[in-house]
């Protein structure tokens, strides 16, 4: 009977150990809850050709992803976390990275106002009215950001808004690695 | 000013909690009556301090004081009053304060109702309660202060997530917390018993009302949560094996085991060491649930804002509280002398069987909940564990519990006659068989498992009724005599009867609603009809609507049965501008035989609406069963032997024994 007491104590210790490890991994940025694997990693980006969100502007198609390492950001003006991550996209654009936008199920008027007020980090934005292109990308929630290499292959997927630490710990290092 | 008062009283509460956590304990060691008496005074003052602090936070929400960061983040002037108040516990900081308020309320109740507890036991229980309170108050003050100011104050708040703006959810967390936190009292009693190195039937009798109260609240809390998920999320389901749902189910299962094993301690002075362990485990699992929800290591609809720092703090509390209790258990459990002996066929043995299955069930749910986390932490792999796992593991473990609960409650203590009991259950067995065969015949042998589950439900309900009729000698004496016997049966017996039958009702609801549910997903335009569950629904189109803090679209479905119009169902899609969020409100016609459940989807380009229509047969039996189960617990709580006057007698006896 006395030895049986060891079981709950060991269980508690191992649980605490694993929770501690996990919290430490999250705290140091090695692991992120937002990190969801994508089956599209190391596969070519899906084929699409989206119209622009403003008349006379540039649309966004698969072809534009060739030749440059780029970020593809799926966003909408009605999505609050998109507002949260917007300054970081602006920062990346200022640093010279090429960012493309897929505007998910949005009113073009609202989308344009959003970019006018908060700034436009995108080289081009495609309007995904039907949401089908987002489905092809395997989008799970909004916003999501993909990194596509110069051959048009998807290399990284980020679910949810980007943060300062995401930028410095994952996004920028991956972009730099792919550019070299 | 309100916020500062709240902050000040909370700091004061921390000091009082530290006093309560140390001095009475010291008094019990030195046998100093005055120090021990400090326990009651400080427990009452602690509760008052925390209550004032909680009241201040509620006041800040009611008057929409957006200079308080928490209020600005979670409230809005346009919200109805009920949701301004429920918004207090709709966020991490506020719900933590509610948690502590309930924790200290329980401490104060022990002080108030425990006048007849032996002084030293009461002092120890209150001290341990004080230490737990101190840990959680410092958690609030150092990592999650709800009274932080925001300067400059915004004109308008950001609002509460609209899916949380619902009466079901306004009351779900308080009940759940009363359940979780109520087990802290049982925990404190267990630790106090370990320190004293003594546990006897009187101990079990003191602990039982607290266990029952906590268990009833937890049952109601879980039922409210699942009911809310059913009608608010618009998915038509009622239990999703979501990590946070599981976090409440695990303490419930272990708490149920504890409820039963404490009976053995009380009646037979046996299973004492195991009961103590269960008491420690139940509260530890409540703490684990708190950790999982608030550390952000699991993602779920329930999780609050994630912050690893808070996670570390709660993890430390978990180690401190559960770890020290378990170590104390390891050191002292051998002092607890084994009590009455019993044969393998006896009520004691049946209750051990119940305990083993319930704790194994809890362990399985725990494994399923934590497995994705373990795998991610160790190997970086992402998996999710869903219903197929639980259907394959949890349900087979629970099935024998259902069969055994009738037999177990009919066995005698010490040594029983299994064949005799089975003979007395002839009627129940025959009914169950009849149900199984009828259903196999009626459904064309397709649903053997469904037939078996319904047979088991019939067995539980009829078997429990057989017990009643035996106890009141129904049909053997005139009816009036039987009725007067029924009146004189102990309330605890009636509690058992109600709760066990409720279990049968619950299983019927779960089985039928999941096996025979009808589901349509259709594009509909005005004038289209659909039939489901014997009803004919005609889609009459949509209307724009305006609520106090939302706008939306309402679909109208005319419901007819046998050519007569019964009602109009009005599912809604709401849009909350303040929170920039949308919700779906299902339109439900609820009857005892089943729910007609309609959800309005999106409008397609040619003006047709995508609609989802379900008929969920007998789904209400699930919540009726759950509420009846809690009601049974309450009836048992009013049992005479738990009343204070009798307790006095018992405690005198216990004191006499000790001396």
Residue A165 in contact with residue A29, Cβ under 8 Å? yes
A contacts of B376 (beta carbons < 8 Å):
22, 31
Q: What is the pTM of this model?
A: 0.83
Per DSSP bridges, beta strands A124-128 and A60-61 are unpaired
* Candidates B250, B277, B330, partner chain A, best to mutate (most A CBs within 10 A): B330
Report the phi/psi class of residue B594: left, alpha or beta, with left for phi > 0 and alpha for psi in -120 to 50: left
Residue B451 contacts residue B440 (beta carbons within 8 Å): yes
What sections of B411-516 are H helices per DSSP?
418-424, 426-442, 448-471, 479-488, 491-515
Contact (CB<8Å) B330/A2: yes
- Interface pTM (ipTM) of the complex? 0.75
Integer distance in angstroms from the first to the last C-alpha of chain A? 63
CA-based nearest residue in chain A for residue B578: A80
Query: Which of B277, B296, B329 faces A33 most closely, judged by CB atoms?
Result: B296
Extract the residue ranges of chain A whose pLDDT is less than 70: 1-4, 29-38
Flag if A8 and B334 touch (Cβ within 8 Å): no
Query: Residue B68 burial (CB < 10 Å; 0-12/13-18/19+)?
Result: buried
Report yes or no: B373 at the A interface, CB cutoff 8 Å: yes
Pairing of strands A124-128, A98-104: parallel
Q: Which residues of B touch A2 (CB under 8 A)?
A: 330, 333-334
- For residue B57 the two structure tokens come to 């936070």
Question: If we measure between CA atoms, which residue out of B500, B494, B484 comes closest to residue B640?
Answer: B494
- B285/A contact by beta carbon, under 8 A: no
DSSP letter for B149, please.
B
What backbone torsions phi and psi does residue B71 show, to the nearest 5 degrees?
-65, -45
Chain A residue whose CA is closest to B324: A9
pLDDT of residue B373: 85
Q: Does residue A63 share a domain with residue A7?
A: no
- Strand, helix or coil for residue B584: strand
In chain A, residues with a C-beta closer than 8 Å to the C-beta of B296 are: 26, 33
CA torsion through residues B436, B440, B445, B451, sign: negative
Interchain contact, B333 vs A5, CB within 8 Å: yes
Q: Which residues 16-35 in chain A show a CB within 8 A of chain B? A: 16, 18-23, 25-27, 31, 33
For B326, the closest of A12, A26, A80 (CB atoms) is A12
Same domain, A53 and A71: yes
Residues in chain A within 8 Å Cβ distance of B273: 1
Q: Are residues A142 and A171 in the same domain?
A: yes
DSSP of A1-16: -TGGGHHHHHHHHHHH
CA B7 to chain centre: 30
Handedness of CA B223, B229, B230, B232 (dihedral sign): positive
CATH number of the domain bearing residue A125: 3.40.30.10
- Residue A45 and residue A109 in one domain: yes
Q: Could you tell me how far CA B259 lies from the centroid of its own chain? A: 14
B296–A contact, CB cutoff 8 A = yes
The predicted pLDDT at position B336 comes to 80
List, for chain B, all residue ranges whose pLDDT scores fall below the cut of 70.
234-235, 296, 298-307, 445, 580, 641-659
Instruction: Give the tens place of pLDDT for each residue, A33-86.
Output: 555 666 788 888 999 999 998 877 788 998 888 888 999 999 988 777 788 899
B291 and chain A in contact, CB less than 8 A: yes
Contact yes or no for B322 and A12 at CB 8 A: yes
Q: Are residues A8 and A64 in the same domain?
A: no
What gap in Å lies between CA B637 and CA B135, rounded to an integer? 30
Does the beta-carbon distance from A6 to B330 stay under 8 Å? yes
Query: Out of A22, A36, A78, whose CB is closest to B377?
Result: A22
- Contact indicator for B416, B347 with CB cutoff of 8 Å: yes
> Nearest C-alpha of chain A: how many angstroms from B330?
6
Output the pLDDT for position B307: 66
CB contact under 8 A, B334 and A80: no
* Structure confidence by residue, pLDDT tens digits, B217-241: 999 999 999 998 888 776 678 888 8
Find chain A residues with C-beta within 8 A of B288's C-beta. 15
Number of domains in chain A: 2
Among positive and negative, which fits the CA dihedral B310, B312, B316, B319? positive
Residues 68-97 of A with CB under 8 A from B: 78, 80
Q: Does B367 contact A at CB distance below 8 Å?
A: no
Residue B654: both structure tokens together: 């216990």
Parent domain of A9: 1-31
Is B382 within 8 Å of A36 when comparing Cβ atoms? Answer: yes
In chain A, residues 139-178 whose CB comes closer than 8 Å to chain B:
none
- Label each residue of B301-334 as H, E or C: CCCCCCCHHHHHHHHHHHHHHHHHHHHHHHHHHH
Burial of B41 (0-12, 13-18, 19+ CB in 10 A): middle
For chain B, the distance separating the N- and C-terminal CA atoms, rounded to the nearest angstrom, is: 54
Closest residue to A16, CB basis, from B281, B318, B580: B318
Same domain, residue pair A116 and A43: yes
Which one of A3, A5, A10, A105 makes the best mutation probe of the B interface by having the most chain B beta carbons within 10 Å? A5
Same domain? For A172 and A131 the reply is yes
Residues A5 and A82 reside in one and the same domain: no
Check CB contact of A132 with chain B, cutoff 8 Å.
Answer: no
The residue in chain A having the minimum alpha-carbon distance to the alpha carbon of residue B273 is: A1
Dihedral angle at the C-alpha atoms of B462, B467, B471, B477, nearest 10 degrees? 30
Contact A37 B382 (CB under 8 A): yes
Tell me if A22 and B327 make a contact (CB, 8 A cut-off): no
Q: Would you call A2 an interface residue with chain B, using a CB distance cutoff of 8 Å?
A: yes
Query: Could you say which of A8, A18, A25 has the minimum Cβ distance to residue B281?
Result: A8
The Cα B357–Cα B519 span in angstroms is 35
Bridge-based pairing of strands B581-585 and B587-591 is: unpaired
The dihedral of CA B295, B296, B299, B300: what is its sign? positive
State whether residue A37 sits within 8 Å of chain B by CB.
yes
Same domain? For A86 and A26 the reply is no
- Mutation for A interface: B377, B382, B604, most A CBs within 10 A: B377
A16 and A82 inside one domain: no
Contacting residues of A for B326, CB less than 8 Å apart:
5, 8-9, 12
Among the partner-chain residues B308, B382, B580, the one whose CB lies closest to the CB of A78 is: B580
Same structural domain for residues A76 and A52? yes
Are A38 and A94 within one domain?
A: yes
How many A-B residue pairs are in contact by the CB < 8 A criterion?
77
Q: Could you tell me if A4 lies within 8 Å of chain B, comparing CB atoms?
A: no
**Using CA atoms, how far apart are residues A59 and A128, in angstroms rounded to an integer?**
10
Beta bridge mates, B605:
none
Query: B320 and chain A: CB distance < 8 Å anywhere?
Result: no
Q: Furthest-apart CA pair in chain A: how many Å?
A: 80
Closest-CA distance, A41 to chain B, in angstroms, reads 15
B529: closest CA of chain A, how far (Å): 27
Q: Do A26 and B319 touch (CB under 8 A)?
A: no
Long-range contacts of B289-292 (CB under 8 A, 24+ apart): B289/B180, B289/B244, B289/B247, B289/B248, B289/B250, B289/B251, B290/B99, B290/B180, B290/B314, B291/A19, B291/B315, B291/B318, B292/B243, B292/B244, B292/B247, B292/B369
A5 touches chain B (CB under 8 A): yes
């Amino acid at each position: 009977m006395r030895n049986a007491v060891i079981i709950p104590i060991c269980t508690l210790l191992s649980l605490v150990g694993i929770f501690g490890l996990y919290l430490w991994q999250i705290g140091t940025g090695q692991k992120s809850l937002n990190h969801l694997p994508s089956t599209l990693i190391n596969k070519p980006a899906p084929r699409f050709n989206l119209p622009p969100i403003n008349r006379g502007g540039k649309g966004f198609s698969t072809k534009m992803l060739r030749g440059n390492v780029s970020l593809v950001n799926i966003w909408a003006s009605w999505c609050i976390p998109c507002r949260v991550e917007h300054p970081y996209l602006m920062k990346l654009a200022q640093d010279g990275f090429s960012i493309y936008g897929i505007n998910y199920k949005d009113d073009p008027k609202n989308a344009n106002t959003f970019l006018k007020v908060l700034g436009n980090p995108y080289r081009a934005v495609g309007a995904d009215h039907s949401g089908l292109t987002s489905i092809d990308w395997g989008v799970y929630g909004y916003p999501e950001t993909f990194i596509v290499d110069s051959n048009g292959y998807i290399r990284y997927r980020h679910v949810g808004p980007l943060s300062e630490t995401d930028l410095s710990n994952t996004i920028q290092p991956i972009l730099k690695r792919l550019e070299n | 000013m309100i916020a500062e008062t709240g902050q000040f009283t909370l700091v004061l509460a921390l000091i009082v909690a530290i006093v309560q956590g140390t001095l009475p304990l010291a008094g019990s060691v030195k046998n100093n009556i005055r120090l021990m008496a400090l326990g009651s005074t400080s427990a009452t003052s602690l509760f008052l301090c925390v209550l004032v602090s909680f009241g201040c936070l509620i006041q800040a929400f009611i008057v929409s004081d957006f200079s308080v960061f928490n209020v600005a983040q979670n409230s809005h002037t346009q919200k109805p009053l009920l949701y301004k108040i429920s918004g207090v516990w709709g966020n991490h900081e506020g719900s933590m304060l509610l948690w502590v308020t309930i924790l200290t309320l329980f401490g104060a109740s022990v002080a108030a109702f425990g006048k007849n507890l032996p002084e030293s036991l009461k002092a120890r229980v209150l001290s341990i309660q004080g230490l737990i309170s101190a840990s959680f108050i410092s958690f609030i003050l150092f990592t999650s202060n709800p009274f932080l100011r925001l300067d400059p104050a915004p004109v308008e708040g950001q609002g509460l997530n609209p899916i949380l703006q619902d009466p079901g959810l306004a009351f779900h967390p308080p009940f759940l917390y009363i359940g979780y936190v109520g087990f802290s009292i049982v925990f404190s009693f267990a630790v106090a018993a370990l320190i004293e190195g003594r546990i006897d039937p009187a101990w079990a009798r003191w602990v039982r009302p607290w266990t029952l109260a906590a268990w009833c609240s937890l049952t109601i809390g879980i039922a409210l949560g699942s009911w809310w998920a059913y009608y608010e999320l618009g998915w038509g389901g009622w239990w999703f094996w979501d990590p946070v749902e599981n976090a409440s189910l695990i303490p419930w299962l272990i708490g149920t085991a504890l409820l039963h094993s404490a009976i053995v301690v009380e009646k037979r002075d046996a299973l004492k060491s195991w009961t103590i362990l269960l008491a420690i485990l139940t509260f530890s699992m409540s703490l684990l649930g708190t950790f999982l929800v608030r550390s952000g290591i699991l993602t779920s609809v329930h999780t609050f804002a994630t912050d690893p720092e808070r996670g570390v703090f709660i993890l430390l509390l978990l180690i401190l509280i559960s770890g020290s209790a378990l170590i104390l258990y390891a050191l002292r459990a051998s002092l607890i002398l084994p009590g009455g002996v019993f044969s393998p066929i006896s009520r004691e043995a049946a209750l051990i069987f119940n305990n083993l299955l319930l704790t194994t069930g809890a362990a399985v749910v725990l494994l399923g909940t934590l497995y994705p986390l373990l795998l991610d932490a160790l190997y970086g792999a992402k998996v999710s564990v869903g219903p197929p796992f639980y259907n394959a593991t949890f349900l087979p473990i629970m099935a024998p519990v259902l069969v055994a609960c009738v037999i177990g409650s009919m066995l005698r203590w010490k040594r029983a006659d299994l064949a005799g009991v089975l003979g007395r259950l002839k009627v129940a067995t025959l009914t169950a068989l009849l149900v199984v065969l009828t259903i196999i015949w009626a459904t064309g042998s397709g649903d053997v498992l469904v037939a078996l589950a319904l047979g088991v439900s019939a067995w539980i309900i009829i078997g429990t009724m057989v017990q009643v009729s035996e106890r009141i000698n129904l049909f053997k004496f005139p009816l009036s005599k039987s009725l007067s016997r029924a009146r004189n049966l102990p309330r605890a017996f009636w509690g058992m009867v109600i709760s066990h039958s409720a279990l049968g009702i619950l299983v019927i609801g779960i089985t039928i609603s999941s096996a025979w549910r009808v589901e349509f997903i259709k594009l509909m335009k005005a004038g289209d009809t659909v039939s489901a569950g014997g009803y004919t629904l005609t889609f009459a189109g949509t209307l724009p609507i305006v609520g106090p803090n939302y706008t939306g679209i309402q679909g109208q479905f005319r419901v007819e049965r046998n050519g007569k119009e019964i009602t109009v169902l009005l599912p809604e899609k709401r849009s909350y501008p303040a929170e920039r969020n949308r919700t779906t409100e299902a339109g439900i016609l609820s009857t005892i035989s089943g729910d007609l459940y309609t959800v309005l989807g999106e409008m397609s380009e040619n003006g047709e609406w995508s609609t989802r229509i379900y008929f969920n047969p007998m789904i209400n039996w699930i919540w009726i069963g759950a509420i009846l189960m809690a009601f049974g617990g309450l009836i048992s709580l009013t049992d005479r032997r738990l009343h204070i006057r009798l307790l006095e007698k018992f405690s005198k006896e216990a004191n006499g024994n000790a001396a």
